[in-house]
Structure 1
């Protein structure tokens, strides 16, 4: 299969359609606008439905309804738009409905700016909505990885009956790279006997909601959800380790920031400094076990982010006191510069 040069947001749309997405509900916001534009153009041609909602709140509730009827459905937005969807995301997780949510992140807080950012890490991994719920969160670093994960995410969402979020900063939405559209990885999926598509006189009515006024029943429901999240932690963790052998320092970075770090690693090699990289692909479940592969030669860890320090908390948890954990970040739409990362690494290693 040949590769095609595509812009990130448009590649996400094409991957979603090929992954089985039949319904898209969204609302315009930069820097993800090319994604709904692509869906508006392509979905009606390909037996799908595109609808621009009157707001982000309306869009996520349309996702709830479509998922409840058994459809493969997606929405997308950028940071403050995802914030508006949080109540609906919590409802969807509570009702155990599968869907895919794409966040092409920008700088904040508030309306902020339209430049790339990774300051939505807490929002995506801790949940901006209420209650004990989790999303499976992917953070691709390349457009090919983005395309692959988008296509697979509909299967994963159906398998767990849970929302899946894909987080990419504004750079990955706006850059162009060659991509290949492969077949998504199929899973053994159960029949959707829970859908609200009408009884046709053949079964009892299905009711989908997230309301449970009896505290004992609500606790039981939460225990059921937690069992599912534990399965995700056991089976769905994804990460990439680079150049760990004999590393003096190991950097943790994800998404496009990790690509910058890989260049820094190659440049430092020429100066005789060996640095490794742990790149989480799933932000949740976080790849804590990846840190067990860090060698005895490592003196410290460094979390590099396009934020003022959010993933660093998970790095500290994964470190479990085995190494000192440092942080370097830029925010507000500023992108970490390779020279600044190199300087930070040398400073940690004693001014080399």
Structure 2
């Protein structure tokens, strides 16, 4: 398959179409507005629907409606916009509906800035909205992986009847890279007739399907939360994805990093190797479920002296890393935010200081 040069935001939009998504509702916010601009033109060409909501709050419930009807549906936004959708995300998760949310992160907290950041890790992986729920969170490190994860997200959302989030950042949304759209990642929608509100006439059934998140009986609410918990446990067993870099050496330091930041760390690792210093990296591709065992195992190598989480934030994923290392080694943190991305030379300086 021939590759085509595309901006990250536009490639995400095309990937959704290639995955069979015909419904996209959104509200513009930088640095991801090109997704909506692209799909406003492309979706009608494919027989799909793009509708701009009056706010991100409205968009969240448009997604809930389409997801409850069993349709493949997606929205994209950036940090404050996802905050406004968090109530709907909790409803969708509780009602067990499949939907895809893309967050191209910008700086924060507050209005912050439009440059890339990774400050929404807590928001994405710890729920973000109210109640006991999780999103399945995928973290691409570039445009090609953003394409692949977007296509996979619809299948995963339907497998678990749960929202899936693609957590990127402004750089991934704005950069241009050659990409291809693997045909093998497109799947047929799963059967939804046993739960979706898609019409009794359509189903040739006298049974009403009710999609809800309201359980006034405490036993029923507890049972629903237990069902959700079992689903998240299944995700932890079946969906963990990560990449190990330079892990077949006697590395002295283990870096944990994801997304754009991991690309800078990869360059630093190559440069350190030329100086005779071996450093490895574990890059989570799924932030929930987090690669807990992989982090524990990688930190247990006899030659490893320290673990450092390097992020474009003030320290969020580092808490999960510390939990996984379980005190066997010191866990350090280095981060910058606001749009400044640490250079490979800065990472090398930090690593040498550790040693």
**1:227 aligned residue (226, 230, 238):** 230
Assess, with a 3 A threshold, how the Cα gap between structure 1 residues 103 and 188 changes in structure 2: closer, same or farther.
closer
The alpha carbon displacement at 1:156 in A equals 0.6
Quick check: 1:342 aligned with 2:333?
no
**2:258 aligned residue (246, 254, 257):** 254
Quick check: 1:323 aligned with 2:323?
no
SS at match of 2:164: strand
Q: Distance in 2 between matches of 1:246 and 1:51?
A: 53
Q: What residue is the counterpart of 1:207 in the other structure?
A: 210
Assess, with a 3 A threshold, how the Cα gap between structure 1 residues 187 and 311 changes in structure 2: closer, same or farther.
farther
The alpha carbon displacement at 1:289 in A equals 1.6
The alpha carbon displacement at 1:293 in A equals 3.3
Q: What residue is the counterpart of 1:270 in the other structure?
A: 274
Residues 185-219 of structure 1: CA deviation (Å, up to 9, x unaligned): 64894443211122227222211110011111100
Residues 12-64 of structure 1: CA deviation (Å, up to 9, x unaligned): 00000001111000000000000011110100110110000000000010000
Consecutive aligned runs of 4 or more in structure 1 exceeding 4 Å deviation? 185-188
Q: What residue is the counterpart of 2:221 in the other structure?
A: 218
Q: Does structure 2 conserve the Cα–Cα contact (< 8 Å) formed by 1:5 and 1:177?
A: yes
| Aligned ranges 1:33-48 → 2 under 5 Å | 33-48=33-48
Q: Does structure 1 conserve the Cα–Cα contact (< 8 Å) formed by 2:19 and 2:187?
A: no
Q: What residue is the counterpart of 1:160 in the other structure?
A: 160
How big is the alpha-carbon RMSD for the aligned residues of Structure 1 and Structure 2? Answer: 1.2
Q: Does structure 1 conserve the Cα–Cα contact (< 8 Å) formed by 2:99 and 2:164?
A: yes
Q: What residue is the counterpart of 1:12 in the other structure?
A: 12
| Aligned ranges 1:169-248 → 2 under 5 Å | 169-183=169-183, 184=185, 186=187, 189-200=190-201, 202-244=205-247, 245-248=249-252
TM-score by length of 2: 0.96
| Aligned ranges 1:54-203 → 2 under 5 Å | 54-183=54-183, 184=185, 186=187, 189-200=190-201, 202-203=205-206
Q: Distance in 2 between matches of 1:176 and 1:86?
A: 30
Q: What residue is the counterpart of 1:310 in the other structure?
A: 316
Gaps of 5+ in 2: none
Q: Does structure 1 conserve the Cα–Cα contact (< 8 Å) formed by 2:20 and 2:186?
A: no
Q: Distance in 1 between matches of 2:317 and 2:59?
A: 29
Q: Does structure 1 conserve the Cα–Cα contact (< 8 Å) formed by 2:96 and 2:162?
A: yes
Q: Does structure 2 conserve the Cα–Cα contact (< 8 Å) formed by 1:106 and 1:115?
A: yes
Residues 243-288 of structure 1: CA deviation (Å, up to 9, x unaligned): 1221000100000100000000011111111100000000000001
Q: Does structure 1 conserve the Cα–Cα contact (< 8 Å) formed by 2:70 and 2:192?
A: no
TM-score by length of 1: 0.97
Q: Does structure 2 conserve the Cα–Cα contact (< 8 Å) formed by 1:159 and 1:190?
A: no
Query: Which stretch has the larger CA shift, 86-95 or 195-204?
Result: 195-204
| Aligned residues between the structures | 349
Query: Which stretch has the larger CA shift, 291-300 or 141-150?
Result: 291-300
